[in-house]
Amino acid sequence: MVKIRLTRKGARNAPFYRVVVADSRSPRDGRFIESLGYYDPTMKPQLVRLNAERARHWLDQGAEPSGTVKSLLRQQGILSQDNMPDADTDETDETDAEAGE
């Protein structure tokens, strides 16, 4: 499965993250398919730069964003609330429970 997630860069106590598309089996800071941008939480306000066109492309291809990346995509207007359900809501459990009754 392909995921859109963060890889950590920067020095100790000065984190800097790249937003990348990677295979879910790859380690956090390991091999990735494509870099989509970066995120610097130490700046005030936080600095986020993303290639919106490529992010939409990967989302259309079925890539699943991590929780933090999903939040960043929503902040940038790339991902709307309607496009993706939250990971916390699992609709399949409700339908399975109804079918069993």
Residue range 79-91: average pLDDT? 57
Over pLDDT 90: what percentage of the chain?
A: 52
Residues 50 and 76 sit within 8 Å (Cβ to Cβ): yes
E-assigned strand segments in the chain: 2-11, 14-23, 34-40, 47-50, 64-65
Amino acid identity for residue 100 in this structure: G
Extents of the domains making up the chain: 2-100
- For residue 56, give the H/E element and its range: helix 52-60
45-80: per-residue pLDDT in tens? 989 899 999 999 999 999 999 999 999 999 888 888
Average pLDDT taken over every residue of the chain: 82
Fold of 2-100: S16 Ribosomal Protein; Chain: A; (3.30.1320)
Q: Which pairing describes strands 14-23 and 64-65: parallel, antiparallel, or unpaired?
A: unpaired
